[in-house]
Amino acid sequence: MTDLIATQRSAASVSPTVAEPAQYLTFMLGGEAFAIGILSIKEIIEYQGLTTVPMMPECVRGVINLRGAVVPVIDLQARLGRRSSEVTKRTCIVIVEVQGEDERQVVGVVVDVVNEVLEIAPADIEPAPTFGARIRTDFIAGMGKVRGKFVILLDVDTVLAIADELIGRAGAAHEPAVALT
Protein backbone atom coordinates (compact mmCIF):
# COMPACT_ATOMS: atom_id res chain seq x y z
CA MET A 1 0.00 0.00 0.00
CA THR A 2 2.89 2.36 0.75
CA ASP A 3 4.21 1.85 -2.81
CA LEU A 4 0.77 2.77 -4.17
CA ILE A 5 0.77 5.96 -2.10
CA ALA A 6 4.30 6.88 -3.27
CA THR A 7 3.31 6.34 -6.91
CA GLN A 8 0.12 8.35 -6.48
CA ARG A 9 1.97 11.18 -4.66
CA SER A 10 4.58 11.52 -7.40
CA ALA A 11 1.87 11.55 -10.06
CA ALA A 12 -0.10 14.15 -8.08
CA SER A 13 2.92 16.40 -7.56
CA VAL A 14 3.08 17.32 -11.26
CA SER A 15 1.87 20.92 -11.16
CA PRO A 16 -1.87 20.50 -11.62
CA THR A 17 -4.06 23.31 -12.88
CA VAL A 18 -7.14 24.38 -10.99
CA ALA A 19 -9.44 22.26 -13.19
CA GLU A 20 -7.41 19.07 -12.67
CA PRO A 21 -8.85 16.39 -10.40
CA ALA A 22 -7.12 15.91 -7.05
CA GLN A 23 -6.26 12.53 -5.56
CA TYR A 24 -7.64 11.41 -2.21
CA LEU A 25 -7.11 8.38 0.00
CA THR A 26 -10.54 7.09 1.02
CA PHE A 27 -11.20 5.20 4.22
CA MET A 28 -14.03 4.17 6.51
CA LEU A 29 -14.79 5.43 10.01
CA GLY A 30 -17.85 4.10 11.80
CA GLY A 31 -19.49 3.06 8.53
CA GLU A 32 -18.99 6.42 6.78
CA ALA A 33 -16.62 7.19 3.91
CA PHE A 34 -13.96 9.86 4.49
CA ALA A 35 -10.99 11.05 2.43
CA ILE A 36 -7.73 12.92 2.90
CA GLY A 37 -5.75 14.60 0.12
CA ILE A 38 -2.98 12.24 -0.98
CA LEU A 39 -0.28 14.91 -0.71
CA SER A 40 -0.68 14.96 3.09
CA ILE A 41 -0.15 11.21 3.41
CA LYS A 42 3.30 9.76 4.04
CA GLU A 43 2.39 6.09 4.43
CA ILE A 44 -0.10 3.56 5.73
CA ILE A 45 0.94 1.04 8.35
CA GLU A 46 -0.69 -1.90 10.05
CA TYR A 47 -2.21 -1.12 13.45
CA GLN A 48 0.36 -2.09 16.04
CA GLY A 49 0.72 -1.88 19.78
CA LEU A 50 0.84 1.68 20.99
CA THR A 51 2.62 3.11 24.00
CA THR A 52 0.08 5.01 26.05
CA VAL A 53 1.07 8.40 27.40
CA PRO A 54 -0.51 9.65 30.62
CA MET A 55 -2.51 12.89 30.76
CA MET A 56 -3.31 12.97 27.04
CA PRO A 57 -6.70 13.97 25.63
CA GLU A 58 -9.11 11.10 25.02
CA CYS A 59 -8.55 11.25 21.26
CA VAL A 60 -4.86 10.35 21.62
CA ARG A 61 -4.46 6.58 21.63
CA GLY A 62 -0.71 6.77 22.29
CA VAL A 63 2.56 6.98 20.41
CA ILE A 64 4.48 4.69 18.09
CA ASN A 65 8.14 4.46 17.19
CA LEU A 66 8.35 5.03 13.46
CA ARG A 67 11.94 4.53 12.34
CA GLY A 68 13.28 6.16 15.50
CA ALA A 69 10.77 9.03 15.66
CA VAL A 70 8.05 9.31 18.30
CA VAL A 71 4.76 9.74 16.41
CA PRO A 72 1.53 10.53 18.26
CA VAL A 73 -1.46 8.45 17.13
CA ILE A 74 -4.87 10.11 17.09
CA ASP A 75 -8.14 8.18 17.27
CA LEU A 76 -9.93 9.98 14.44
CA GLN A 77 -13.34 8.73 15.60
CA ALA A 78 -12.81 10.30 19.04
CA ARG A 79 -11.39 13.49 17.50
CA LEU A 80 -14.58 13.81 15.46
CA GLY A 81 -16.64 13.48 18.65
CA ARG A 82 -17.70 9.88 18.07
CA ARG A 83 -17.29 6.64 19.96
CA SER A 84 -14.04 4.81 19.14
CA SER A 85 -14.24 1.83 16.81
CA GLU A 86 -13.07 -1.61 17.80
CA VAL A 87 -9.62 -2.53 16.48
CA THR A 88 -9.85 -5.25 13.83
CA LYS A 89 -7.31 -6.85 11.52
CA ARG A 90 -8.26 -4.23 8.88
CA THR A 91 -7.63 -1.27 11.22
CA CYS A 92 -4.75 0.88 9.93
CA ILE A 93 -2.71 3.86 11.00
CA VAL A 94 -2.44 6.48 8.27
CA ILE A 95 0.71 8.54 8.75
CA VAL A 96 0.06 12.13 7.69
CA GLU A 97 2.08 15.30 7.64
CA VAL A 98 0.22 18.34 8.95
CA GLN A 99 1.11 22.00 9.14
CA GLY A 100 1.87 22.97 12.73
CA GLU A 101 2.32 26.47 14.05
CA ASP A 102 5.99 26.60 13.06
CA GLU A 103 6.67 23.50 10.97
CA ARG A 104 5.23 20.38 9.36
CA GLN A 105 4.63 17.56 11.82
CA VAL A 106 4.03 13.83 11.42
CA VAL A 107 0.96 12.32 13.09
CA GLY A 108 -0.72 8.92 12.85
CA VAL A 109 -4.49 8.58 12.59
CA VAL A 110 -6.41 5.38 13.29
CA VAL A 111 -8.98 4.43 10.63
CA ASP A 112 -11.27 1.40 10.45
CA VAL A 113 -10.24 0.36 6.95
CA VAL A 114 -8.42 1.98 4.01
CA ASN A 115 -10.37 1.75 0.75
CA GLU A 116 -8.62 3.22 -2.28
CA VAL A 117 -7.04 6.26 -3.89
CA LEU A 118 -9.56 8.19 -5.98
CA GLU A 119 -9.38 11.18 -8.28
CA ILE A 120 -12.11 13.70 -7.56
CA ALA A 121 -12.65 16.57 -9.97
CA PRO A 122 -13.26 20.04 -8.49
CA ALA A 123 -16.71 20.01 -10.16
CA ASP A 124 -17.58 16.95 -8.03
CA ILE A 125 -16.75 18.66 -4.73
CA GLU A 126 -19.49 20.49 -2.87
CA PRO A 127 -18.76 22.96 -0.05
CA ALA A 128 -19.00 21.76 3.55
CA PRO A 129 -22.55 21.86 4.88
CA THR A 130 -23.31 24.88 7.04
CA PHE A 131 -25.56 22.88 9.38
CA GLY A 132 -26.74 19.35 10.03
CA ALA A 133 -23.30 17.74 9.84
CA ARG A 134 -22.46 15.14 12.46
CA ILE A 135 -18.95 16.55 12.78
CA ARG A 136 -17.62 20.07 13.13
CA THR A 137 -18.01 21.83 9.81
CA ASP A 138 -14.55 23.42 10.08
CA PHE A 139 -13.11 19.88 9.91
CA ILE A 140 -14.72 19.37 6.48
CA ALA A 141 -12.90 20.63 3.37
CA GLY A 142 -15.80 19.57 1.16
CA MET A 143 -18.12 16.77 0.14
CA GLY A 144 -16.86 14.73 -2.80
CA LYS A 145 -19.36 13.00 -5.08
CA VAL A 146 -18.04 9.56 -6.02
CA ARG A 147 -20.18 6.99 -7.85
CA GLY A 148 -23.40 8.63 -6.70
CA LYS A 149 -22.41 8.81 -3.02
CA PHE A 150 -20.78 11.48 -0.87
CA VAL A 151 -17.32 11.15 0.66
CA ILE A 152 -16.42 13.57 3.47
CA LEU A 153 -13.17 15.33 2.52
CA LEU A 154 -11.32 16.21 5.72
CA ASP A 155 -9.19 19.29 6.26
CA VAL A 156 -6.35 17.44 8.03
CA ASP A 157 -4.55 20.58 9.16
CA THR A 158 -7.69 21.67 11.06
CA VAL A 159 -8.72 18.22 12.32
CA LEU A 160 -5.23 17.50 13.62
CA ALA A 161 -4.44 21.00 14.91
CA ILE A 162 -4.41 19.39 18.34
CA ALA A 163 -1.16 17.73 17.25
CA ASP A 164 0.93 20.85 18.02
CA GLU A 165 0.49 20.55 21.76
CA LEU A 166 0.42 16.76 21.71
CA ILE A 167 3.74 16.36 19.97
CA GLY A 168 5.39 18.45 22.64
CA ARG A 169 3.73 16.44 25.41
CA ALA A 170 4.35 13.04 23.83
CA GLY A 171 8.00 13.80 23.09
CA ALA A 172 8.57 15.17 26.60
CA ALA A 173 7.02 12.06 28.13
CA HIS A 174 9.59 9.86 26.39
CA GLU A 175 12.71 11.93 26.98
CA PRO A 176 15.01 11.02 29.85
CA ALA A 177 14.94 13.31 32.84
CA VAL A 178 17.76 15.84 32.98
CA ALA A 179 19.41 16.57 36.32
CA LEU A 180 19.57 20.25 37.18
CA THR A 181 22.82 21.43 38.73
Q: Is the pLDDT of residue 114 over 80?
A: yes
Q: Is the pLDDT of residue 17 over 50?
A: no
Question: pLDDT per residue over 54-101, tens digit each?
Answer: 888 888 999 999 999 999 999 999 888 888 888 999 999 999 998 877
CA distance 58 to 65: 20
Position with higher pLDDT, 7 vs 108: 108
User: How confident is the model at residue 179, as a pLDDT?
Assistant: 37
CA distance 24 to 113: 15
Domains of the chain, earliest start first: 2-173 (2.40.50.180)
* Confidence grade of residue 19 (pLDDT, cut at 50, 70, 90): low
* Closest among 65, 66, 64 to 74, alpha carbons compared: 64
CA distance 170 to 146: 37
Question: pLDDT per residue over 133-173, tens digit each?
Answer: 677 888 888 999 999 899 999 999 888 886 445 545 544 44
Sheet holding 22-29, edge to edge: 113-120, 22-29, 32-37, 149-154, 140-146, 125-126
Q: 3-class SS at 31? A: coil
- To the nearest whole percent, how much of the chain has pLDDT over 70? 77
User: How confident is the model at residue 115, as a pLDDT?
Assistant: 95
* Confidence grade of residue 118 (pLDDT, cut at 50, 70, 90): very high
